Amino acid sequence: MNGKTASGKPVNDFLVEKVVFRSSPIKNSPEITIQSKNMDVWPSVIDASDKGCVNIESIKDLASISFKSSGVGRTIRSIVKDDGHVVFTMDDSLIEKDTLESIKTKFFEKFGVPMFQEIANNKFADGQADLIDYVMGQRDYRKHSQGDAKGLYEALMKKKLLKNITEAYAECTNSDCPHETRIDDSTVILGECPICDSPLRVRENISTQIGISEVRAEVKRKLRIWCDDESWIMLGDSNLTFGNNTLKLIKLERSGDQRPLQILITEHTLDGRLLSKLHKMMNPLIAVFVGQQEKFIGKYTSECIQAISFGKLYVQKDDDLKLFFDSIYSNLELRAKNYLASAANKSYHSLCGIHCPPDSLDKTLYTPGDLEDDGYALLKDMFPNSVKWGKQQSGKQLPEGVFSLSYVRNDKERYAFSFDFKLAYKNEGYPLEIAEQRKAVQYVKDLNDSDLISSYAKQRKLSGHIFISNCFNAAQVDTTVKYFEDQLPSSVITKPIFITTDALTHLHLKYRENFEEVELAKNYYMHWLFEALVNKSNYVTRDHVDTIFKKLLTKQYREVDVMDMTLLTDEVTKKDAI
């Protein structure tokens, strides 16, 4: 990329009109195309390289080159093989043999690599990463018997990142019989085949397995280096339950603002339902895929998830780790607004599915943790100044979370609410028994002692503790209201508030449908919403929501003047017609 040809001599009659790069150093690494018609584009490529717009980290970064030579115009494309090696190829049909040989020679003289031949890519870091992912993804140890793969395989075995496992099978000696079964002890005396009564024999099979514990230790070592300057703190491991499986996540926290980051290490593909759950949790997550090639894991990079291969992380030098991880997290932060809206949309549809009679809910398919994630995604979308504790602070006496709302009337009005999610599996509603009532009151007392709550909230206390459930027990709602009144001093205005998931999803639907009107009358909207939350009945219903939006849609409460773009469009289009 220094402007010189590989041969060091000018290459005549080889006009490069277009170069396409698969990635770039620009934010989000978009593909870059540099093109110029009937003019050699190579000087522009050199200029782009000098300015840091393009950077060849691997031969595979070069996606294609369009050229003209000997009266022929073609596009040469790079094909990336499973082991990371690259082949440059093109459609050579209808090209005479002598012309084709001339093109191949000129391509080699200009770029220093051949066409139609496999090119080792492991001189570049990305090529080394591809080879690591390829080797770690192979279960047949015999595939690593030669070339670069052999040396790498031996090095990974030495570090125990790969291990050979011997498995024994009892198979039938009759070649026409399909019987085969795995056995734990290869020295066991075998009997006859249960299918054809022929003698059985032992067959041993050696397979290469990933040393996942050692991989995990290596990832943690690199994370600790990133955390050396104390801008990030490693909090240890946490478990995420998904169906019958438990995933182990590495948790980190940014020192300045306690923003979370999770690391998932996996040698398996991710189930679509698991991806949806991770998206709805809205916590930035780096998924490190082991033994899976980069070209196959790109589909997992979306919303709050950034997928990288273990090979990509493994080849990073310790001095480069800060830039590497900072870049990934910065990318995730830029997507925060998008994945919040997406998570809320997924959660809305998920919550709508639990309005049915509670006793029809499948406990294995929808859990209290799912309600926490779904409900919080809706709250976070409507009340950006919110926090979820719940599972993140399990073992501590805290509610699921807190959100605030503020608006201006004659003065600044600022209020805070805590919230808890209660999933009912029975038609009589969630059992808000005395133990639950005591916990809720204690949450309120503890939070009302907070200096931040007292300095922020207008009334120096929480305005309410909100219970959110798919179904409430009416009698227990009444006893909960009375318990709050009995246990909290008359000077404390914090009241219990009850919202069904049906009312919550209705509010979120109306909010999304009328988002522009909400923004144009934000102070009125927040005031009406506050009044709905603290109404005398202690319930927030669909009727309360409809009343808010009925007033909002009259448009007489708008606080911001906007131009009517429909009228403007109509005016200018008619004017052009005249």
The pLDDT score that the predictor gives to residue 551 is 96
Measured in whole angstroms, the distance separating CA 276 from the mean position of its chain's CA atoms is 9
- Do 103 and 95 form a contact (C-beta atoms < 8 A)? yes
Percent of the chain with pLDDT over 70: 93
Angle between helices 368-382 and 272-281 (to 10 degrees): 50
CA distance 406 to 165: 62
The pLDDT score that the predictor gives to residue 7 is 62
Cα-Cα-Cα-Cα dihedral sign, residues 97, 99, 105, 110: negative
**Per-residue tokens: 279:** 């998206």
Contacts of the segment 235-238: beta carbons below 8 A, 24+ positions apart: 238/262
Helix (H) or strand (E) holding 79: strand 72-80
CB atoms within 10 A of CB 88: 23
CA distance 117 to 359: 64
The pLDDT score that the predictor gives to residue 2 is 45
User: Which candidate, 306, 305, 311, 325, places its Cα nearest to that of 227?
Assistant: 325
Q: Report the length, in residues, of the chain.
A: 578
Residue type, position 203, single letter: R
CA distance 422 to 465: 13
User: Which candidate, 119, 148, 117, 120, places its Cα nearest to that of 135?
Assistant: 148
The pLDDT score that the predictor gives to residue 1 is 43
For 436, left (φ over 0), alpha (ψ -120 to 50), or beta?
A: alpha
- Do 502 and 355 form a contact (C-beta atoms < 8 A)? yes
pLDDT digits (tens, 9 = 90+) for 335-364: 887 888 889 999 999 999 898 889 989 888
- pLDDT of 45 > 70? The answer is yes
Backbone angles phi, psi at 255, to 5 degrees: -60, -40
Which of 17-21, 119-123, 490-494, 527-531 has the least mean pLDDT? Answer: 119-123
Average pLDDT over residues 141-162: 84
CA distance 273 to 42: 47
DSSP secondary structure letters along 529-545: HHHHHT-TTSEE-HHHH
Close Cβ partners of 54 (under 8 Å, ≥ 6 residues apart): 1, 21, 24, 25, 32, 34, 45, 48
Measured in whole angstroms, the distance separating CA 409 from the mean position of its chain's CA atoms is 40
Close Cβ partners of 514 (under 8 Å, ≥ 6 residues apart): 549, 552, 553
227 pairs with which residues across the strands? none
Measured in whole angstroms, the distance separating CA 433 from the mean position of its chain's CA atoms is 38
- Do 451 and 430 form a contact (C-beta atoms < 8 A)? no
Query: How deeply is 572 buried, as exposed, middle or buried, from its count of CB atoms within 10 A (0-12, 13-18, 19+)?
Result: exposed
pLDDT band (50, 70, 90) for residue 250: very high
Which of 53-57, 257-261, 466-470 has the least mean pLDDT? Answer: 53-57
The pLDDT score that the predictor gives to residue 50 is 73
**Per-residue tokens: 133:** 């992912």
Percent of the chain with pLDDT over 90: 50
The pLDDT score that the predictor gives to residue 320 is 93
DSSP secondary structure letters along 253-314: EETTT--EEEEEEESSPPPHHHHHHHHHH---EEEEESS--HHHHGGG-BTTEEEEEHHHHH
pLDDT digits (tens, 9 = 90+) for 393-435: 555 688 999 999 999 988 899 999 999 999 999 999 999 999 9
- pLDDT of 578 > 60? The answer is no
- Do 497 and 464 form a contact (C-beta atoms < 8 A)? yes
